Amino acid sequence: DTEVTQTPKHLVMGMTNKKSLKCEQHMGHRAMYWYKQKAKKPPELMFVYSYEKLSINESVPSRFSPECPNSSLLNLHLHALQPEDSALYLCASSQEPPGATDTQYFGPGTRLTVL
């Protein structure tokens, strides 16, 4: 089973709203990732969690706040977003530490629209 699930599938929010994106995997992976993808562009890495600890933050604005409550769950809390933050938000997971198999498996994504 190589399934990563994400909720919600679609989200529309105003610039003053607070919302959260959720991601879950049951592959026993201990590395989890958030990516942002704009139309016709490749995914851009936002955050990496390793063993539930934030290991990489790619200079993402503080209006995006990640959280890893346990080894299977990853959240992305959103607050005071801008219209330019509208994008497809992708969660991924992989084995940790990376070794013979370091493939990242992506969830279906959350399509976010900020009005």
The closest of 61, 62, 113, 65 to 86, measured between CA atoms, is 113
Binding of another protein at residue 102 (CB under 8 A)? yes
Backbone angles phi, psi at 65, to 5 degrees: -130, 110
Judged by beta carbon, residue 45 or residue 80, the one nearer another protein is 45
Preceding peptide of 66 cis, ω within 30°? no
Judged by beta carbon, residue 91 or residue 114, the one nearer another protein is 91
Residue 94 β-bridge partners: 31
**Which member of 11, 32, 48, 76 binds another protein (CB under 8 A)?**
48
> Which residues between 12 and 41 bind another protein (CB under 8 A)?
31, 33, 40-41
Binding of another protein at residue 3 (CB under 8 A)? no
Binding of another protein at residue 66 (CB under 8 A)? no
Judged by beta carbon, residue 103 or residue 113, the one nearer another protein is 103
What is the C-alpha separation between 68 and 98, in angstroms, rounded? Answer: 19
